[in-house]
Structure 1
């Protein structure tokens, strides 16, 4: 897959995981399941989840928990790949 088609696929992804006030624990299994079925998964980090931290920090922590990588972080969304 070329870099441009890969970037286009990542850009066109719909958010399928929302991280809210309950933090990372409740969505860890969901993200893990989705990464088994899809190459990429896009997550949105709601204000309540961020608290005193950044989207990038939360995304990296979540990626570590599910053995994945953050391939893009923009605004309050992050895209994960395994």
Structure 2
């Protein structure tokens, strides 16, 4: 599904049900008619599951930012301010 749900629905995306998404698609004119199961299949294929959400656990480690920064640098292919080679 290449449709973005607007924030004007008044709730976070994680609080929407498949029926909510279906109603929004119909009311917004995106589709004339669509079933809940079709919407569910589309969301499922794209691994988007607004009805499932996780709670964020706040890190308590005082050195978390430095530790996480090293990992994020590796994802960005950088180490100690230097770009990493392709290998």
TM-score (norm: length of structure 1): 0.29
Higher RCO (C-alpha under 8 Å, 6+ residues apart):
1
Rg bigger for which structure?
2
Higher strand share: 1
> What is the TM-score with the length of structure 2 in the denominator?
0.28
